[in-house]
Amino acid sequence: MHSRDRDLSDSFMTVARDIRRRQMSALEPFGLSPSHSRALRVLARADEPVRLGYLAERLHIVPRSATDVIDALEQSGHVHRRSDPADRRAVLIELTASGRTLVSELAIAQRRTSSDLFDVLDPAERDQLRSLLDRIQERSGAPDHL
């Protein structure tokens, strides 16, 4: 690895850690863990009930851990479980109305916490950064945004 490449990686990781710290701070007022937040986002993007296995796969966790996440979200009233009519042994998970509201509130809070970080860039630079990161993500085979 060239020193120039290492410097770019170090800079990227420093910014990524700062973004993660800010995102975690944004979750605190909602009493959510990062895994709860990610699960809510996956469910919101699916826009239909999903099986637990699908959720576990999207979160890159084992189904038992996904069950724990859904248990907590169901207890707080943000998701609902029901039997899959196509396979009564399978469980479908969907957001409740309060879960959808929470997803919207989380998105606003997380954007607000990171906005000052990116406000140093003008709109054209932000678009360029987004394009470059999308290109890197495609090439790396990294999963879609959660």
pLDDT at residue 2 is higher than 70: no
- Report CA dihedral (95, 73, 42, 134) to the nearest 10 degrees: 140
C-alpha to C-alpha distance for 133 and 145, rounded to whole angstroms:
11
For residue 23, what pLDDT band results from cuts at 50, 70 and 90?
Answer: confident
Bridge partners of 40?
none
For residue 65, what pLDDT band results from cuts at 50, 70 and 90?
Answer: very high
For residue 62, what pLDDT band results from cuts at 50, 70 and 90?
Answer: very high
Asked whether the CA dihedral 118, 121, 127, 130 is positive or negative, the reply is negative
Integer angstrom CA distances of residue 51 from 5, 25, 27, 120 = 41, 30, 25, 41
Reported pTM: 0.77
Given a contact cutoff of 8 angstroms between Cβ atoms, the answer to whether 128 and 37 are in contact is no
Mean pLDDT for the stretch of residues 78-105: 93
pLDDT in tens, 115-146: 878 989 999 999 999 999 999 988 887 666 55
Mean pLDDT estimate for the chain: 89
Helix/strand/coil for 142:
coil
Q: Domain 3-119 carries which CATH code? A: 1.10.10.10
* Domain ranges for the chain: 3-119
